[in-house]
Amino acid sequence: MKRWELDDWLASLTRVAPSTLAVYRRDLRDAARWLDTVGRPSPVSVTRRDLRGYLARLDRDGYARRTIARKASILRRYFRWAQRTGRIETDPSAALSAPRGTATLPRVLSADELDHLIEGGVRSSDRPEIELRDRAVVELLYGSGLRVSELCGLRRVDLAGPKGTVSVWGKGDKQRRVPISDPAADALARWMSDGRPALVTEGSPDDRVFLNRRGNPLGPRDVRRLLDRRSPTPTHPHALRHTFATHLLDGGADLRAVQELLGHADLATTQIYTRVSRERMREVHRSTHPRA
């Protein structure tokens, strides 16, 4: 594995969550081991045909189409880095195709579920600083459609800039500026002024916006726990992002604008939410129209 310089590649991904880095490490190591068995011990010797053979082998072994697509994406990212840094001359993963995963309709939260999450429900924390933090987290996840990794990665410098906006680092280390709602801006300001100082310890990072109860950077698992604490039903952080996008389209937002807000590189990824909106309209028709 030394020839693949896996540690150097992972170290270059400074804006990727640790859990995601673990997936990248595992997937690339698996690919490198298979390529070694077919006589390709280093990235210099790998061809596009070799990579296609690897993906075909995964398909024969019964891997889900979505999983194969993820592994292909990781290979493309690695080989782009290898070419950019001069480790290889040509990128064998260029135009590498993989079966696209089957899209399933995301769950959109109901008005009651959103109310419980935002207001705290019956299981809200009784610690004022935790309540301020949790309220700001929920407002940002729903009000701006952030990925949980983007929210956990927020730094103080990301809050500087035009009023009512925040900078986030998305997939592929791409930065975008997104608007935040007035309730989110108010909740964030109260957290930063009244809540965050109460959780700061001697070892707390000075630049991170959100901290956990121990004063360490807030992580995705912390966010999942706080949502579970506030919601009467199990709620994944991504459900808030789904709901954000669907509500925008329900309100007449342009699909390209939603793509930009979500940080999707491919418009096809955003288009799944149009299916969600159509399904929601059909359900409203079925449940409310007397002749449906």
Cite the active site residues.
147, 171, 238, 241, 264, 273
CA proximity to 130, closest of 230, 234, 236: 230
Question: What is the tens place of the pLDDT at every residue in 83-100?
Answer: 999 999 999 998 787 655
Confidence of residue 122 (pLDDT cuts 50, 70, 90): very low
Question: What is the tens place of the pLDDT at every residue in 169-213?
Answer: 887 778 899 999 999 999 999 999 999 999 999 888 889 999 999
DSSP one-letter string for 210-229: -B-TTSSBP-HHHHHHHHHH
Q: What is the mean pLDDT of residues 154-160?
A: 93
Q: What is the mean pLDDT of residues 211-231?
A: 91
